Amino acid sequence: MRRSFPRLSCLGGEGPGGGAERGKLAIPRSPYARFRPVTLDEAAWTSGFWADRFERCRTRTLPAVEAGLLNPRNSEQLLVLLIAAGERSGPRQDKGTNWTDGDCYKWIEALARHSAVTGDPALTERMDDWIDIIARAQSPDGYLSTNYWDNPAGRLQVPYHHEMYNMGHLLTAASVHYCETGQTDFLAVARRTADFLYLQFQPRPPRLVHFPWNPSAHMGLIDLYRVTGERKYLELAGILIGNRGSSPGGGTHENGGTDQTQDRVPLRAETQAVGHAVCAMYLYCGATDLFLETGETALLEALERIWHNVTSRRMYISGGVGGKGAGESTRGDPVHEAFQGDYELPNDCYCETCANIGNAMWNWRMLQATGEARFADVMEQVLYNAGLSGVSVSQDRFFYCNPLEWHADATPSHGHQTATRWEICDCYCCPPQIARTLSSLQTWAYGIDDEAIWVHLYGGSQLHVRLPSGTVRLTQVTDYPWDGQVRITIDECPTMPFPLRLRIPGWCEGATLSVNGHAVDGVPPCGTYVAVQRAWQSGDVVELRLPMPIRLMESHPSVVANRNRAAVMRGPLLYCVEAPLAADGERIWRNGICFPEHMTVTPRFESDLLGGLTVLRAEALTEVGGRLYVENVVSKSAPLADPRSWDGVLYRPLAARPLPQPASGTIQLDLIPYYAWANRGVAFMQVWTPLAR
């Protein structure tokens, strides 16, 4: 039975357009944000791509993650919380990783969101039971990390032991739980933990300058500040971010002070993305949250520099980040699961799912800080590609690494690279990361400011918010990302005019807009938000058409791994060539595959394939056919002339010559979205395919 707890108002009461009146608690817009996110009570997926994944998250992902966390063979285990709470006997050692608690809290965060949306009493009861266990696992002084629950002398001695990673995810999960349910039991646990951390770190002891190793605490503290109004939590987040890089030279992977944890150079002076990609993304997320509350320009300027370094030199076309399993940073520090140097983007890459999703999280925050569509573009790029590739189409099996090339008979370059998706793992952080992300994307879809509604992500959905001028309800209908037609109907609106800000993706040329069947003058420029402002009436219909031509893409010539290779995209989706062994894939692969510059590609939707998706039928070439085509056609054509500059550009549509189609040596291939690979058994796969040049 659901327990009853007192309901409180979130920080500052109900903000503009807040959803508290319908049962959820809304956090007002941060003072330096261009808009505020919507709540789960204001926005809901109704049909299509993200609605399907939200529902499968409830029915498949959440149970799969729970089963994984309860499996004694798994690396992350709910069992450790039971031991610390006195529910089970035995030692904590050798049960779960140092960071196991934090990944359990991610799962509870996802439970809170689904419980709030569905009202499922089974979810609520399960969540409440675990919160009660967590409360009993907490030490009287507020410390809560089960790897040292019975060893006070060992606490906060080694940054790599991830105690603050655990506590950071606790703070975030408790803040989400409070805002979605109004219950204060989990929030009370979080406040005691944050108060403990404040007492340790506020005096700024040099001994603790390299904590935390993985900085989820930065986000967690600001999440807690936003729901409580307690400024010391914001102050502590600022202290921790200021500590980063203030005392370089820790010397080891475990002790901090190096590029591995972005701890060699102060963040405000940094010019590049370095080190462990998850740590990096969490640091940048926390620093952006700090800017949103303080408006400190030095922070935003640093984040802009790092963002440009990532997106123009160090990010995969999938939106993935962190290509190196092990090596050195550009400044000579040992690193692993890390960023590499400029343009070092091998396709046998690491690209941990948590890091990829972290990239989306960071761009979501930068979008709030600036209102600029380039950040929404990267956010979307990750969500449809590098983020979603970490989970099977059934949403109950997972990947840790997300390479852009896989040879079925090759030895992986790292133990976390696997040919097939798994249920348990020796580092189980990614499945709950996926669960909490898919549980919350409807809050990323729209934004609200004092006068406008922003549309960031397209998908079948409904929105019900209140502007200062009155209530707005709208319905979005679309088959995006398979089709670029978006129809938004105004179901209720105030009499005062207000703008509807629609994102025109950076990949889209030639978008058109109409209202009630009448064209809006001008072609909306790509990579911007277009404001459609008018005195709306109930029943008004806005139609946005986003053309989705198939694009062969090329990468900066300094990316050695992709020279004379092309990738294929349609809309926001990245495609790949996959040759499953069970479908004669080895023969196809051994015969070789290459693309002519003007390859004929035809899209078709297949509802029964891999959960339903658009396949691209491509007229490619075998290796022999490509060689003959180059000898007989390409070598006799005029040289390629391309006046475009690569300044600040990492990927762009392929510059191609108007060559005739190959007459022989062709092979028909069905390209699938990259996120859907490795769902048909062991396979060969590549995103970047050689060109017949």
Contact status, residue 240 vs residue 187, Cβ threshold 8 Å: no
Residues 556 and 686 in one domain: yes
Of 395, 398, 403, 406, give the one whose Cα is nearest residue 425: 398
| Overall residue count recorded for the chain in this entry | 693
Q: Note the pTM of the prediction, 2 decimals.
A: 0.96
Partners of 544 in the β-ladder? 486, 513
337 found inside a domain: yes
Domain count, the chain: 4
pLDDT for the residue numbered 21: 35
**Residue 104 sits in the same domain as residue 146:** yes
Predicted pLDDT at 470: 95
CA-only gyration radius of the chain, Å: 25
pLDDT of residue 4: 32
Distance separating alpha carbons of residues 107 and 109, to the nearest angstrom: 5
Is 665 domain-assigned? yes
How many Å apart are CA 140 and CA 635, to the nearest integer? 76
451 plus 395 within the same structural domain: no
Residue 176 lies in a domain: yes
What would the DSSP string read from start to end of 41-68?
Answer: TTEEEEESHHHHHHHHIIIIIHHHHHHH
Written as six digits, the tokens of 580 are 């499953």
- Write down the pLDDT at residue 19: 34
- The verdict on residue 283 lying in a domain is yes
Half-sphere exposure of 210 (CA within 13 A, CB side): 25
211, 243, 275 - which closes a domain: 243
SS3 call for 688: coil
| Last residue of one domain, picked from the residues 403, 435, 460 | 403
Is residue 201 situated within a structural domain?
yes
Burial class (CB in 10 A: 0-12, 13-18, 19+), 341: middle
Among 125, 135, 83, which Cα is nearest to 105's?
135
Residues 113 and 136 in one domain: yes
Has residue 208 been placed in a domain? yes
Q: Is residue 468 part of a domain?
A: yes
Mean pLDDT by 10 residues, the chain (693 residues): 30 32 65 96 97 98 97 94 93 87 98 95 95 98 95 96 98 97 96 98 97 98 97 98 93 90 97 98 98 98 98 98 90 94 96 98 98 98 98 98 93 86 95 98 96 97 95 98 98 96 97 96 92 96 97 98 98 98 93 95 97 97 96 92 94 93 94 98 97 95
Buried b (16+ CB within 10 A) or exposed e, 472-503: bbbbbbbbbbbbbebebbbbebeeeebbbbbb
3-class DSSP state for residue 118?
A: helix
Instruction: List all residues 6 or more positions away from 518 whose beta carbon is below 8 Å from its beta carbon.
Output: none
CATH number at residue 480: 2.60.40
Say whether both 566 and 671 belong to one domain: yes
Q: What range defines the domain where residue 101 resides?
A: 75-243
Q: What is the pLDDT of residue 24?
A: 60
Check whether residue 583 and residue 478 sit in a common domain. no
- The answer as to whether 116 is a domain residue is yes
Regarding whether 507 and 586 lie in a shared domain, the answer is: no
Same domain, 541 and 578: no
Residue 135: Cβ within 10 Å count: 15
- Which domain-ending residue is among 545, 572, 594? 545
Which strands sit side by side in the sheet containing 43-47, from one edge to the other? 43-47, 460-467, 470-478, 485-492, 541-545, 512-515, 518-519
- Report in angstroms the alpha-carbon separations of 556 from 308, 311, 656, 658: 15, 12, 15, 22
Which among 357, 354, 350 has a CA at the least distance from the CA of 336? 350
Are residues 209 and 275 part of one domain? no
- pLDDT of 63: 98
Tell me the C-alpha distance between 464 and 39, whole Å. Answer: 10
The answer on 674 and 621 residing in a single domain is: yes
Q: Return the pLDDT at 520.
A: 94
DSSP label of 203: T
Asked if 188 and 310 sit in the same domain, the reply is no
Which run of H or E residues covers position 217?
helix 216-228
Residues 343 and 363 in one domain: yes
Q: What is the DSSP string of 84-117?
A: HTTSS-S-STTSS-TTHHHHHHHHHHHHHHHHHH
